[in-house]
């Protein structure tokens, strides 16, 4: 952290003694969490009373919880009182002034991913005055959506402009009591995305945070809510394929999806937060709760994720299949290299009749990476003829990494069928040599084999995303074979 920030924090701390929370001029709250901080966040965002209350209830509940210890990852204890839970969006003058001031390693990665120069500046947080054309792009984009009645805006804006919708659906799928990190998020979330697709509307384009310019600094506690009314269709892309360096240690996001009758939501993520260095120093702790509710009949929710970043990933995008004939899907590629750790998977909860779910998980471990798949398939008593198919494959590169699979299956209905398949393989030296002997260099050979391993998942990604995900995987695994 720069000295400038320390000074600000120092000043703020000083003010605190005199009751800083009455002072609306502060840019950042002091580190730590208490009810005053939460009220401050809520007031800063001009939130209605019900939301302030909701946050406080979440906070009080969170105080009764303990951080989960069942996951197969190791990390230093997180000091929740040392985190700054609110800070105003960074000013441009705080960022690097030109690309020369940016970490050359980061620039190198951008180059490999083929990201245009202007874009690199934006991603690296360079203070450019004319930030490419995203303003006009975003404007035309919004007009097209508004014409169809689609709401796509920041969460804060949604609270202001569509309070009834937010109030109706917030916490419906992930209640504030859900788990330690979800409760924390409910108490302190600062922003995120809101998306509402009205009845019968098919969203004419892929919705992406990429187009929403204010998405860049939404902070570490994001909250996303997507509602698809009867017969509505939407495909949502989350994240950015370029590595985002973020000094925040802890990320605890919540995503809620709600699909009514015949509605379909496809949610794709490429997560590439800072993974820490080669020695396992630094990196993001990513503790995310993502869940979709197939509330209506014949509804469908599909999660696709490519997880290459973060020092620790804790994430189980899940589907609650409540409506009859509803469908849940989970396609995942998770990569751990160097000292990264991932404990990720899904939950498919079959409640309605004839509900179906598919799980395809591909875990890749290289370096000292530890990669765990953890999944639950639960068939409730009323879920007549429910069906699930799960496939969990692991690929090991080198001999210092680990792959683990923890499948949980709970079946309470005899008419259902659940299938689970799992494989573990290793990229062998003989495979690499075979490729070399045909003229293909080692790194290209690894990419080829890894992409082959992941192709069932990549084909679920929207086209441009798939191409970038492939490149990203290449960058993430660079140097993983000696």
Partner 1 sequence: MNQPMLEIKNLHAGVEGKQILKGVDLTINAGEVHAVMGPNGSGKSTLAAVLAGREGYEVTEGQVLYCGKDLLEMDPEERAREGVFLAFQYPVEIPGVNTTYFLKAALNEIRKHKGESELDAMEFLSLVKEKMKILHLPEDCLKRSVNDGFSGGEKKRNEIFQMAVLEPKLAILDETDSGLDIDALKVVSEGVNKLKRLDNAQFVITHYQRLLNYIIPDYVHVLFDGRVVKSGGKELALELEERGYESLMSHELQPA
CA distances from 85 to 13, 33, 37, 159, 326 (A): 14, 7, 8, 19, 38
- Tracing tokens 């990229």 back to the chain, one arrives at 427
Task: Tell me the window of 16-24, 321-329, 372-380, 440-448 that interacts with partner 1 (CB under 8 A).
Answer: 440-448
> The dihedral of CA 284, 226, 458, 114: what is its sign?
negative
Closer residue to partner 1, CB minimum distance, 154 or 394: 394
Select from 17, 66, 414, 438 the one that contacts partner 1 (CB under 8 A): 438
Per the CB < 8 A criterion, the answer to whether 297 and 326 are in contact is yes
Write phi, then psi, for 416 (nearest 5 degrees). Answer: -90, 165
Residues 443-472 that bind partner 1 (CB under 8 A): 444, 448-449, 451-453, 455
CB of 480 to partner 1, least distance (A): 16
- Enter the tokens of residue 210: 């990429």
Q: Does residue 50 belong to the site contacting partner 1 (CB under 8 A)?
A: no
Structure tokens at 108: 């190198």
- Which residue number, 28 or 440, has a Cβ lying nearer to partner 1? 440
Q: Which of 415, 425, 459, 464 binds partner 1 (CB under 8 A)?
A: 425
- What is the CB neighbour count within 10 angstroms for residue 148? 12
- CB-nearer residue toward partner 1: 98 or 423: 423
Q: Which of 258, 348, 331 is nearest to 294 (CA)?
A: 258
By the rule CB under 8 A, 433 interacts with partner 1: yes
* Contact between residue 477 and residue 112 where contact means Cβ atoms under 8 Å apart: no
User: Three-class SS of residue 198?
Assistant: coil
**Is position 421 an interface residue for partner 1 (rule: CB under 8 A)?**
no
User: Judged by CB under 8 A, does residue 442 bind partner 1?
Assistant: yes
Among residues 77, 414, 437, 463, which is the contact residue for partner 1, using CB under 8 A?
437
- How many Å apart are CA 84 and CA 32, to the nearest integer? 6
* Residue closer to partner 1 (CB basis): 56 or 448: 448
- Closest approach of Cβ 431 to partner 1, in Å? 5
CB of 335 to partner 1, least distance (A): 15
Contact pattern for partner 1 over residues 370 through 409, marking x by CB under 8 A:
----------------------------------------
Distance CA 343, CA 313 (A): 6
> Interface with partner 1 by CB under 8 A: which residues?
425, 428-431, 433-442, 444, 448-449, 451-453, 455
């Amino acid at each position: 952290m720069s000295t400038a920030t320390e000074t600000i924090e120092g000043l703020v701390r000083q003010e605190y003694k005199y009751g800083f929370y009455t002072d609306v001029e502060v840019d950042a709250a002091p580190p730590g969490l208490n009810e005053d901080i939460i009220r401050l966040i809520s007031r800063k965002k001009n939130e209605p009373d019900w939301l302030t209350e909701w946050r406080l209830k979440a906070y009080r509940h969170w105080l009764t919880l303990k951080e989960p210890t069942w996951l197969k990852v190791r990390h230093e204890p997180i000091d929740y009182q040392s985190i700054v839970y609110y800070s105003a969006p960074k000013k441009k003058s705080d960022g690097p002034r030109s690309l020369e001031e940016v970490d050359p390693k980061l620039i190198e990665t951008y180059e490999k991913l083929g990201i245009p120069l202007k874009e690199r500046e934006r991603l690296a947080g360079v203070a450019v005055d004319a930030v490419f054309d995203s303003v006009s792009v975003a404007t035309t984009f919004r007009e097209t959506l508004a014409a169809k009645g689609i709401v796509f805006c920041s969460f804060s804006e949604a609270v202001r402009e569509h309070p009834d919708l937010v109030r109706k659906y917030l916490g419906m799928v992930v209640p504030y009591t859900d788990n330690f990190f979800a409760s924390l998020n409910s108490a302190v979330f600062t922003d995120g995305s809101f998306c509402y697709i009205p009845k019968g509307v098919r969203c004419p384009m892929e919705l992406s945070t990429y187009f929403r310019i204010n998405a860049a600094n939404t902070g570490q506690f994001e909250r996303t809510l997507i509602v698809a009314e009867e017969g509505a269709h939407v495909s949502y892309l989350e994240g950015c394929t370029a590595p985002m360096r973020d000094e925040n240690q802890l990320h605890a996001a919540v995503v809620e999806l709600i699909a009514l009758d015949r509605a379909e939501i496809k949610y794709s993520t490429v997560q590439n937060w800072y993974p820490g260095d080669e020695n396992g120093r630094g990196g993001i702790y990513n503790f995310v709760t993502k869940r979709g509710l197939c509330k209506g009949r014949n509804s469908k929710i599909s999660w696709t994720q490519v997880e290459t970043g973060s020092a620790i990933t804790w994430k189980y995008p899940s589907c609650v299949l409540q409506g009859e004939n509803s469908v849940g899907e989970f396609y995942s590629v998770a990569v751990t290299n160097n000292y990264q750790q991932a404990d990720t998977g899904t939950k498919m909860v079959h409640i309605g009749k004839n509900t179906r779910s598919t799980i395809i998980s591909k875990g890749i471990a290289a370096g000292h990476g530890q990669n765990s798949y953890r999944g639950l398939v639960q068939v409730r008593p009323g879920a007549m003829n429910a069906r699930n198919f799960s496939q969990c494959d692991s690929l090991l590169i080198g001999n210092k990494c680990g792959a683990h699979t923890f499948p949980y299956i709970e079946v309470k209905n005899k008419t259902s069928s659940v299938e689970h398949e799992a494989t573990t393989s290793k990229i062998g030296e003989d495979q690499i040599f075979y490729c070399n002997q045909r003229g293909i260099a080692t790194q290209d050979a690894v990419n080829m084999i890894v992409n082959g391993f992941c192709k069932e998942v990549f084909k679920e990604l929207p086209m441009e995303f798939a191409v970038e995900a492939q490149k990203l995987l290449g960058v993430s695994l660079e140097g993983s074979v000696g």
